[in-house]
């Protein structure tokens, strides 16, 4: 009995994570975990992955010293890890090519994924196009209408976009349909999950493929500054870019780790998506983490100015880093993120994604309280071109 518990324990980060799914799905995830364990340290697989990351994604991404911003704030030296310079403009591609390569290795011919705003769908469609895999993207019908340009982008990349018409016709329903597809077509199908969330092995797998961010940043700062940073920060929705930066620094006890959570309009229920700062532990979408829920355990609506952070749960490893005291999670409001969006554009000529702007905002808040010889690394997880229209409309109102 204890042995079976131990089998599942590999999916736990402290008391968080695990695999809380119906039995049929459990079996499918077990197979996926076996495949992941088989290939994650396979030299041949990693050689192929490295080559794709270098030649296709464009890695390593630069670690850029934001000199003007640092000087203006008059505190710590701020470095930006430029994930926005990756192919397709965000960190999402790291995980998409990693998992798509894994799919190909295990003989899957069909890759399925869910998408909300469309970013993960586009990254998945991109990786599948490059590897010649059939790609089916499930998207809530309402989202397909709101994000028609991204639908076209995915179709352009050869993916089939299936509008989901059940329930609320949004991301939640797209996930349900994708899971049903997976259970029914497990023999030839791979479910490519986009964030460090969901049941085991997804959080571990996404962390594995995103950790390239932190490994590079660690090497680069040692090379550029000759020492480790004092503080590292990244935005946290599901938390895949953040865990990618954080994981390789966790053992470096002198490096302070802070996640910038979407604080939205206020910290009242329904106004934000800060699952750690404003939520409680529970089970959501098949895993245990901090989540936004009411007294009955029903998931509460969430809000963020950044669609990519608008999620009522958080990656289980972040919940563990918080609970164990290794990392802090701090809400950053819509307004602060919007200010940071403009400020980084003006001072550095870099338009950040609204998601990444949360981490930039935290740096802007914190750098002035630090010494000029201290180092702060911000994960600039994506570029802001996709958000320019939204910000333009908000400013015109």
Residues that bind another protein (CB under 8 A): 1, 4-5, 7-8, 18-28, 166-167, 172, 176, 179-180, 183-184, 282-286, 293, 295-299
CB of 171 to another protein, least distance (A): 12
How many CB atoms within 10 Å of residue 226?
7
Q: Is 62 helix (H, G, I), strand (E, B) or coil?
A: coil
**Which among 70, 302, 356, 381 is annotated as catalytic?**
381
d(CA 359, CA 330): 10
**Which among 19, 81, 114, 317 is annotated as catalytic?**
114
Q: How many residues does the chain have?
A: 397
d(CA 215, CA 46): 15
77-82: strand order across its sheet? 63-65, 77-82, 375-380, 231-235, 256-264, 327-333
Residue 129 or 299: the one with the smaller Cβ distance to another protein is 299
CB of 202 to another protein, least distance (A): 14
> DSSP states of 226-282 as a string?
SS--SEEEEE-SS-HHHHHHHGGGTT-TTSEEEEEEEEES-SSTTS---HHHH-EEE
d(CA 235, CA 258): 9
d(CA 93, CA 95): 5
Burial class (CB in 10 A: 0-12, 13-18, 19+), 333: buried
CB of 281 to another protein, least distance (A): 8
Residue 114 or 348: the one with the smaller Cβ distance to another protein is 114
Closest C-alpha among 71, 75, 95 to residue 83: 95
Q: What is the DSSP letter of 121?
A: H
**Which among 81, 92, 104, 322 is annotated as catalytic?**
92
CB of 347 to another protein, least distance (A): 42
Residue 15 or 219: the one with the smaller Cβ distance to another protein is 15
Residue 299 or 388: the one with the smaller Cβ distance to another protein is 299
CB of 98 to another protein, least distance (A): 25
114 is catalytic: yes
> DSSP states of 158-173 as a string?
TPEEEEE-STTSSHHH
d(CA 318, CA 335): 24
Task: Sort residue 89 into left (φ over 0), alpha (ψ -120 to 50) or beta.
Answer: left
CB of 313 to another protein, least distance (A): 10
Residue 21 or 359: the one with the smaller Cβ distance to another protein is 21
d(CA 303, CA 329): 17
381 is catalytic: yes
Closest C-alpha among 349, 354, 336, 348 to residue 391: 354
CB of 234 to another protein, least distance (A): 27
Q: What is the CA radius of gyration of the chain?
A: 20
* Residues taking part in catalysis: 92, 114, 381
């Amino acid at each position: 009995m204890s042995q079976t518990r131990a089998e599942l324990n590999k999916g736990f980060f402290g008391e968080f994570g695990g695999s809380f799914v119906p039995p049929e799905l459990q079996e499918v995830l077990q197979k996926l975990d076996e495949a992941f364990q088989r290939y994650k340290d396979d030299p041949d697989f990693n050689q192929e992955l490295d080559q794709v990351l270098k030649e296709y994604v464009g890695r390593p991404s630069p670690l850029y010293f934001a000199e003007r911003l640092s000087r203006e704030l008059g505190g710590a030296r701020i470095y930006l890890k430029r994930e926005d310079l990756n192919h397709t403009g965000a960190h999402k591609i790291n995980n998409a090519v990693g998992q798509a390569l894994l799919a190909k290795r295990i003989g899957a011919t069909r890759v399925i994924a869910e998408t909300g705003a469309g970013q993960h769908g586009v990254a998945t469609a991109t990786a599948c196009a490059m590897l010649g895999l059939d790609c089916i993207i499930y998207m809530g019908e309402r989202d397909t209408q709101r994000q028609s340009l991204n639908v076209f982008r995915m179709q352009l990349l050869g993916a089939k976009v299936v509008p989901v018409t059940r329930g609320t016709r949004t991301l939640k329903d797209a996930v349900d349909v994708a899971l049903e597809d997976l259970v029914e077509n497990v023999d030839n199908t791979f479910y490519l999950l986009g964030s460090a969330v969901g049941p085991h092995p997804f959080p571990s797998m996404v962390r594995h493929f995103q950790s390239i961010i932190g490994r590079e940043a660690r090497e680069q700062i040692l090379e550029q500054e000759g020492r480790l940073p004092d503080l590292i920060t990244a935005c946290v929705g599901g938390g895949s870019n953040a865990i990618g930066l954080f994981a390789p620094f966790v053992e470096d006890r002198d490096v302070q780790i802070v996640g910038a959570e979407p604080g939205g309009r206020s910290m009242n229920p329904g106004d934000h998506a800060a699952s750690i700062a404003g939520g409680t532990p529970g089970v959501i979408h098949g895993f245990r983490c901090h989540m936004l829920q009411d007294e009955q355990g029903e998931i509460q609506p969430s809000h963020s100015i950044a669609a990519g952070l608008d999620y009522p749960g958080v990656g289980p490893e972040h919940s563990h880093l918080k609970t164990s005291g290794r990392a802090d999670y701090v809400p950053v409001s819509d307004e602060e993120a919007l200010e940071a969006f403009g400020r980084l554009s003006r001072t550095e000529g870099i338009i950040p994604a609204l998601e990444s702007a949360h981490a930039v905002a935290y740096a802007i808040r914190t750098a002035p309280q630090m010494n000029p010889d201290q180092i702060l690394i911000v994960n600039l997880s994506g570029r802001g071109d996709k958000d320019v229209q939204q910000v333009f409309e908000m400013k015109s109102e």
